[in-house]
């Protein structure tokens, strides 16, 4: 299975993906070549359609986007209370409202109109941007 297909499949069950990666010891995907994952409050832009980071409270989060969907997931490996958050930018240039979920959240775009997504691990955290 290709890495992209695997990430997409895993992203559909984001919370399970994160737990599974922690259990198998899989390495986190880099945010950008040669850089570290962002700190809990440091804004960053991902170099791809997938990003994984760990907040200072020890919880791992991941975000994924393609033109038809975007999602963010939260693992159960830390003490962070923050939910998984996501919003998307459409071809029109408008951003959706933020959506959140305790362990994962997803926004669908049946017309494949998503051109970017922002992910975060708490309501007041700075977002990380991904692009399809």
- In terms of DSSP bridges, do strands 44-45 and 128-130 run parallel, antiparallel, or are they unpaired? parallel
Q: Determine the pLDDT at residue 47.
A: 54
Domain limits for position 12: 3-130
Burial group, residue 103, by CB count within 10 angstroms (0-12, 13-18, 19+): middle
What residues contact residue 89 under an 8 Å CB cut-off, 6+ apart?
95, 96, 114, 115, 116, 117, 118
pTM of this structure: 0.70
Helix (H) or strand (E) holding 21: helix 14-24
List the single range of 7-16, 63-72, 105-114 with lowest mean pLDDT: 7-16
Asked whether the beta carbons of 64 and 11 are under 8 A apart, the reply is yes
Tens of pLDDT, residues 68-110: 999 999 999 999 999 999 999 999 999 999 999 999 999 999 9
Residues 15-54 have pLDDT tens digits of: 444 444 444 344 333 333 333 334 443 334 455 899 999 9
Task: Work out how many domains the chain is built from and give that number.
Answer: 1
State residue 68's pLDDT score. Answer: 97
Where in 3-97 does DSSP place strands (E)? 44-45, 50-54, 60-66, 69-74, 84-90
Predicted confidence at residue 111, as pLDDT, reads 95
């Amino acid at each position: 299975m290709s890495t992209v297909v695997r990430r997409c499949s895993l992203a559909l069950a984001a919370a399970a993906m994160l737990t599974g990666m922690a259990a198998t010891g899989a390495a986190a995907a880099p945010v950008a070549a040669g850089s570290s994952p962002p700190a809990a409050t440091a804004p960053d832009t991902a170099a791809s359609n997938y990003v994984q980071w760990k907040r200072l409270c020890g919880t791992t989060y991941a975000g994924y986007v393609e033109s038809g969907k975007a999602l963010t997931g939260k693992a159960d490996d830390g003490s962070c209370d923050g939910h998984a958050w996501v919003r998307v930018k459409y071809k029109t240039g408008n951003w959706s409202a933020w959506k959140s979920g305790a362990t994962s959240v997803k926004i669908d775009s049946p017309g494949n109109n998503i051109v970017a997504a922002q992910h975060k691990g708490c309501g007041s955290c700075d977002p990380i941007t991904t692009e399809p």
